[in-house]
Amino acid sequence: MLKTFIGFLGLAVAALCASSSTLQNVVVPKDHPLIFFHGRWDKSPETWWAGSGFKLHVENLQSLSLSLGNHTTTPLASIGVSVDYEPFVTVNVSVGTNTIIFEKSLTGAKAKSVVRINVEGWQNNRINLENIILNPGARLLPYTPSRLAFQFIGDSLSAGQFLPQGVDQAWPILTGEYVKAEHIVNAQSGAALTDIVSFGNQHGLSFQFFRTEDTGYYFTTDHNFTTPWEFRRDVPPATHVVIHIGANDSSQNVTQAAFIETFLNFLSRLRTIYHTQPIFVFTPWGWLNAGGTVSQYYPDAYQQIVDGRHRLGDRNVFLVNTTGWVTFADVFPDNQHPNVAGHAKIAGLFEKWLEQWGLQPEILWSTPI
């Protein structure tokens, strides 16, 4: 069998068939209470939305395999794997048993490890978990989440479309990593906030955010329906909410007045879930042109939206003015979406903004290694 290895700080990853020794391994069922799920999973369980996944705190970790069911994207889905809070490494997985092989033992002086796994893609990102297989002698420990939890809401500019590692290289994940927060991203490429058909999306985020499934559900044969998301499953609850959306509303000719009304109604509904959490509303950085000009959309709308909440007495909504954050050098010239360096730049500027606002990054992750 062909084996493809990806070297990373002593870690190599391969998708290959389980051997007979798997029978002696520790099999963790998909409903094990110490699997720390994050993002949107249905009851199969299978993932929806970029960045959904799970975390494991493991004692005596030497090897780990994922057994994935038939609802996993075919021929493969790309996942990000991070061990002990190192940057994510891309691994392609498929239906069956997919084994992560460690070239170097993680036991000994360092007997506890944290493994974080999420789906990278803004589409074709479903993994259907059946069970997790650990090496003999391994033991799951409780994962303690960070006291900070960021909820990001947006479109392709937040989902990591066109990036080699998808959402794992996008500014929301980079920001979450920097402040050492749990991070959930509900961002759908091509989607408007307004509940309209837009670039293949059957719904806008003002509808879809409150559903388990992303708008890719419409094109599946095994799950062509939506179910309400139970926000009590977001553990921990979001401590901060970040929204960057509107490009596709503009592209679909939604008027500025209608967009403002939709956004204000969306914020009112969010307040039934996030009662007092700070909400950060991004202005557009616009569409960048080679000559240095910027095409803006909905001028002054975002300030009006924030002012509208303030008039209702909600002073915990803040405008993040991103004007000038992105230049033509920071985007892919053929589609004007931020490139890898551009996303890193946006994350760095937002991190600086957050620190000036008053949020300091955590010193250490909550689950020690």
pLDDT tier at 329 (50, 70, 90 boundaries)? very high
Q: Which two tokens stand for residue 276?
A: 């007092």
Instruction: Give the model confidence (pLDDT) of 216-237 as tens digits.
Output: 999 999 999 999 999 999 999 9
Residue 57 pLDDT > 50: yes
pLDDT of amino acid 21: 43
Tell the CATH topology of 11-141.
Jelly Rolls (2.60.120)
pLDDT of amino acid 292: 84
Q: Going by C-beta distance under 8 Å and a sequence separation of 6 or more, which residues neighbour residue 203?
A: 191, 195, 197, 211, 215
pLDDT > 90: what percent of the chain? 88
pLDDT tier at 291 (50, 70, 90 boundaries)? confident
> Domain-by-domain residue ranges, the chain?
11-141, 149-357
Instruction: Give the model confidence (pLDDT) of 193-215 as tens digits.
Output: 999 999 999 999 999 999 999 99
CB–CB of 37/116 below 8 Å? no
The whole-number average pLDDT for the span 62-85 is: 96
CA distances from residue 57 to 13, 74, 142, 181, 299 in whole angstroms, order as listed: 19, 29, 6, 16, 47
The DSSP string of 251-292 is: HTT--HHHHHHHHHHHHHHHTTTSSS--EEEEPP--EE-TTS
The Cα 160–Cα 157 span in angstroms is 6
The Cα 15–Cα 263 span in angstroms is 44
Instruction: Give the model confidence (pLDDT) of 95-152 as tens digits.
Output: 999 998 665 555 554 689 999 999 999 999 999 999 999 999 999 999 999 999 999 9
The whole-number average pLDDT for the span 303-320 is: 98
pLDDT of amino acid 144: 98
Look up residue 72 and give its DSSP letter. Answer: S
Q: Going by C-beta distance under 8 Å and a sequence separation of 6 or more, which residues neighbour residue 358?
A: none
The whole-number average pLDDT for the span 69-84 is: 96
Residue 363 pLDDT > 70: yes
Q: Which two tokens stand for residue 76?
A: 């493969």
pLDDT of amino acid 106: 56
Residue 337 pLDDT > 70: yes
Q: Going by C-beta distance under 8 Å and a sequence separation of 6 or more, which residues neighbour residue 90?
A: 6, 78, 79, 80, 81, 120, 164, 165, 168
Average pLDDT, the chain: 92
Residue 350 pLDDT > 50: yes
pLDDT of amino acid 135: 93
The whole-number average pLDDT for the span 169-189 is: 98
Report the largest interatomic distance among the alpha carbons of the chain, rounded to a whole angstrom: 66
Q: Residue 332 — φ and ψ, nearest 5°?
A: -70, 125
Give all strands (DSSP E) within 88-244, no chain letters: 89-93, 96-102, 112-119, 129-134, 139-141, 149-154, 182-187, 240-244
Q: What CATH number labels 149-357?
A: 3.40.50.1110
The whole-number average pLDDT for the span 332-336 is: 95
Q: Going by C-beta distance under 8 Å and a sequence separation of 6 or more, which residues neighbour residue 369?
A: 84, 85, 110, 112, 113, 114
